[in-house]
Structure 1
Amino acid sequence: MKRRNIIITLAILFAAVNSLLVYLDKEDRVPRLSYVEEWSQTFEEDLYVELETPGVLTALTQKNVYFDEDRGSFGEFLVNSNDKVDVGDGLFTYKAHDYYETKSYLENEVSKLNSQVAAIEQAITDISLYSIPEAEVTTELESEDSTLVIANESAEADYRKEQYLAEKNKELALKEAELQSLQTQLSELETSGDIITVESPYEGIVTEVSESLNDPLLTIRDTELKAEGELTESERMKVQQEMPVEVIVREDGSVLDGTVQEVSQSPEDVTVEGTSTYPLQVGLAEGSDIEGLLPGYHTTMAITLKKAVGATAVMDDEVYNKRIWEMTPEGKLDKQKIETGIHVNGMYEITKGAESGQWIAAEENSQFRDGAPFITPVQLDNIQWKHLGNYDNVSWKKYFVTGLLSR
């Protein structure tokens, strides 16, 4: 019993002396081992910060067709409400009051449209031949009714150039359709002497037919769709034009890609105590599958505010005061400073200080020290027991003896 008490006393004294030595070791002469119980890796991830807001599908455009009673007497409608019409389809007829006066009017309108078509074609040619300068230069290209400003060689400038061309080509197609309609009316007048058929310059669905002959006589909505919604004051501060948007149709779950086309600079209503809301318009990507979708279908719009594709990421609970504990291949802990970017879904984007695939301690511990050796628990579940000792060309006996001698 006396011997047992002596052994216990010596063990306690040994532990106390070692603890005191470690505590008093200000110059790190005594190596301190860190025990890492949980660990993980930094990884590659696509990170997105999104803002979700309700929306509704609407027609991209809605065009009105008018009838000038001074030109003649209304004849008959050639279409009904909900009819689909193509460019060149007859909409209605009328009888001209005065042949020569109507002919002169139509010829003048044809001349105006020819001039407009020529101006648009010239604008398209000018911008198509224009190359984005390498140096940072601001350039303005003017057409008859619009101005394009190109800031520099950036991708944004290329995008704006393509967007401008797309808009001009749509405008050209519309003017050419109007010109064709007037030329057909003029030809029909010269043939019949007084009966004229007004053709549709638009493709779409007839939504309104004025049986009372009040203007607009007809309303035709575009078959193309867009999404509309509203933003609160705080949301308005975050959203900008050209941000990517996913438009999710609530009824069938279909997803349409789009971009923020316009965010109003003015709220719908201004009140002192109320909440201001700002109209939002989202254009759908060209070629979007909108078959079966109609104006009025409700959606959820997910606007991408920020994104980091292929970013190095880490779980946020593994970051400690902008630092991570890297487990180096040399078997030591490295308290590594990092810079972070996007924070979403419990993950941080690492913009500087670490790369994907680094092993890190998953839980900080008070006994962690920068540069200290570390040990980890054996994960028995990961050991392939049936393969132990079955390694070809490996002398496990040699390494076993070497290990004993090195202790």
Structure 2
Amino acid sequence: MKKKTKVRLTLFGSLLFVAVNIFLVWLDEKELTRLSYIEEWEQTFEEDLYNEIENEGTFQSSTVEYSYFDKQAGSFKQFLVEEGDQVDVGDDLYEYVVRDYQADKQQLESEQDKLEGEIDVLEDYVDAVEDSDIPEPEEDEQPYVDAELSKAQREAKANMMLEKKEAQLEVIEDQLDTLSDNGQVIQVGSQYEGTITNISESLDNPAITIKQDELVVAGKVHEGERNAIEEGMKVRGNVLNQNQTWEGALESVASYSEYEKDDTSYYNYTIELNEQPEGALQGYHTTVSFITGEAQNAITAEIGWIQERLEEVKPEEPAEQTDTEAKDNSTDESETPDQTSEEEDSPAFKRQRFMWVMTSDGTTLTKPIETGLVMGDLVQVTDGVELGQWIADENESQFFEGGTFLTPINRDHLTLETIKAQENWWSSMKMGILVR
């Protein structure tokens, strides 16, 4: 008797289990028809992205500058510096007695007027660049990024030229002051900051050699990279074997090759540093990264999250014709023999990038996207998704447009209170039972 009871109970329990599952499926048939199980998902994030050309260079003294003495201008009197002296812009280097006071004064005043005019033009140009507005992008952000980078490069280059002109003007003004104070004697000031490394006692030019104390980064790029870099471009790097970084701007790049190896030409460049890296010495090696493109605070995704598919390109509808145009076209068609139009060939296709987005209501949707800069495995998303959007990082074959998705249970977040706080928790529980 007990044996029959056990068999009946077992049979009843099995039938009840099957009946309950059938009942649950009947309740939510539409909800369970398309279901995806997602184990890996991520959020779009904010990142500063760069396109760079990698190179290597060495720290060098910025430049070797020279001061010349024109023997036709007057009679040399004396040097005012010695080898090894440190000089700043405007410091007196030597003095001489002029041959023609009025002629020299007029020449200096003419140079002063010329420099003041050039400085005014450069200042106006810098102000115009700073005040120029770049329209915010409506869709593609890359042209906006390129325009901002170009603006910064033009401003940096103009400021470098402005500093040089201002130093030259200071020297000319000092010479006019000394000429006015001393009558026939002019003291020639330095246009550069640095160390006096050579003085020509015989007055053979250059009379004085000045080696600037500030370091620059010098190196070479091969012909394949030469056209990708331009003066004023932002540059950065790391001092090798030291925990030091630096930033600067490309001061100059040669337009002719001074070195060739394995049938490849190389072009010299010089980078002006924004600040001198602490501990760096002449001859130290450094990495060099030319910033050819950048996107600050860009919405960013990993390249593995992005899918591609072919989409048909819909032809543009022809514009409406006026009566006159229609008549002209009709006349042309009547005069032209019948031809098979090539426009009726198979439709054109394009590659469309997209991502599978996980919505807050538990469904998956495809979002077509536009991309910008690529930096390693990171991609700038210029249109299509927002910052912080949840993206499925799975094989797309299991996804359906508008389909429901499930994710693994996070037991740390699973409490009775959190369950009750969720909307439609009973439906979610039923789906979980069936899937398991």
Same fold (TM over 0.5): yes
Q: Do the aligned partners of residues 32 and 189 (structure 1) sit closer, same or farther apart at CA in structure 2, a change above 3 Å counting?
A: closer
- Which residue among 358, 369, 372 is the counterpart of 2:389? 358
1:203-243 deviation line (CA, Å, top 9, x unaligned): 32112233565332220133444322211122223223332
Q: Do the aligned partners of residues 320 and 33 (structure 1) sit closer, same or farther apart at CA in structure 2, a change above 3 Å counting?
A: same
Q: Do the aligned partners of residues 309 and 225 (structure 1) sit closer, same or farther apart at CA in structure 2, a change above 3 Å counting?
A: same
- Residues in 1 aligned to 2:251 and 2:260: alpha-carbon distance in whole angstroms: 23
- Which residue among 263, 266, 270 is the counterpart of 1:277? 266
- Residues in 1 aligned to 2:363 and 2:151: alpha-carbon distance in whole angstroms: 49
- Which residue among 15, 34, 37 is the counterpart of 1:35? 37
Q: Return the letter of the residue paired with 1:279.
A: N
- Is 2:380 the partner of 1:349? yes
Which residue does the alignment assign to 1:334?
Answer: 365
Secondary structure, counterpart of 1:110 in structure 2: helix
Alignment of 1:94-133 (within 5 A): 103-105=98-100, 107-125=102-120, 132=128
- Asked if 2 retains the 8 angstrom alpha-carbon contact of 1:90 and 1:197, the reply is yes
Q: Do the aligned partners of residues 264 and 180 (structure 1) sit closer, same or farther apart at CA in structure 2, a change above 3 Å counting?
A: same
Q: Do the aligned partners of residues 93 and 244 (structure 1) sit closer, same or farther apart at CA in structure 2, a change above 3 Å counting?
A: closer
What is the TM-score normalised by the length of structure 1? 0.69
Q: Do the aligned partners of residues 108 and 310 (structure 1) sit closer, same or farther apart at CA in structure 2, a change above 3 Å counting?
A: same
- Which residue among 274, 287, 293 is the counterpart of 1:306? 293
- Aligned-pair distance for 1:351? 1.4
Q: Do the aligned partners of residues 109 and 87 (structure 1) sit closer, same or farther apart at CA in structure 2, a change above 3 Å counting?
A: farther
Aligned-pair RMSD on alpha carbons? 4.3
What is the TM-score normalised by the length of structure 2? 0.65
- Residues in 2 aligned to 1:403 and 1:201: alpha-carbon distance in whole angstroms: 81
- Aligned-pair distance for 1:352? 1.5
Secondary structure, counterpart of 1:80 in structure 2: coil
Which residue does the alignment assign to 2:81?
Answer: 79
Which residue does the alignment assign to 2:140?
Answer: none
Q: Return the letter of the residue paired with 2:263.
A: G
Which residue does the alignment assign to 1:229?
Answer: 219
- Residues in 1 aligned to 2:132 and 2:171: alpha-carbon distance in whole angstroms: 40
Q: Return the letter of the residue paired with 1:116.
A: E
Q: Where do 5+ consecutive residues of structure 2 fail to align?
A: 1-6, 23-29, 134-146, 309-352
Secondary structure, counterpart of 1:227 in structure 2: strand
Secondary structure, counterpart of 1:215 in structure 2: coil
- Aligned-pair distance for 1:264? 2.6
- Residues in 2 aligned to 1:268 and 1:113: alpha-carbon distance in whole angstroms: 38
Q: Where do 5+ consecutive residues of structure 1 fail to align?
A: 19-27, 95-101, 137-152
Which residue does the alignment assign to 1:184?
Answer: 178
Q: Return the letter of the residue paired with 1:360.
A: I
Q: Do the aligned partners of residues 29 and 278 (structure 1) sit closer, same or farther apart at CA in structure 2, a change above 3 Å counting?
A: same
- Is 2:226 the partner of 1:215? no
- Asked if 2 retains the 8 angstrom alpha-carbon contact of 1:181 and 1:200, the reply is no
Q: Return the letter of the residue paired with 1:122.
A: G
- Asked if 2 retains the 8 angstrom alpha-carbon contact of 1:107 and 1:186, the reply is no
- Residues in 2 aligned to 1:326 and 1:154: alpha-carbon distance in whole angstroms: 31
- Residues in 1 aligned to 2:194 and 2:289: alpha-carbon distance in whole angstroms: 28
Q: Do the aligned partners of residues 277 and 166 (structure 1) sit closer, same or farther apart at CA in structure 2, a change above 3 Å counting?
A: closer
- Aligned-pair distance for 1:390? 6.0
- Aligned-pair distance for 1:161? 6.9
Higher helix share: 2
- Aligned-pair distance for 1:154? 8.8
1:24-60 deviation line (CA, Å, top 9, x unaligned): xxxx998221111221111121111222212233444
- Aligned-pair distance for 1:114? 0.7
- Is 2:244 the partner of 1:254? yes
- Which residue among 241, 263, 266 is the counterpart of 2:253? 263
1:69-95 deviation line (CA, Å, top 9, x unaligned): 6654776x553332102355454567x
1:120-139 deviation line (CA, Å, top 9, x unaligned): 32344466568859999xxx
Q: Do the aligned partners of residues 249 and 108 (structure 1) sit closer, same or farther apart at CA in structure 2, a change above 3 Å counting?
A: farther
Q: Do the aligned partners of residues 106 and 320 (structure 1) sit closer, same or farther apart at CA in structure 2, a change above 3 Å counting?
A: same
Q: Do the aligned partners of residues 390 and 154 (structure 1) sit closer, same or farther apart at CA in structure 2, a change above 3 Å counting?
A: closer
- Asked if 1 retains the 8 angstrom alpha-carbon contact of 2:365 and 2:401, the reply is yes
- Asked if 1 retains the 8 angstrom alpha-carbon contact of 2:119 and 2:162, the reply is yes
- Aligned-pair distance for 1:109? 2.6
Q: Return the letter of the residue paired with 1:370.
A: E
Secondary structure, counterpart of 2:381 in structure 1: strand
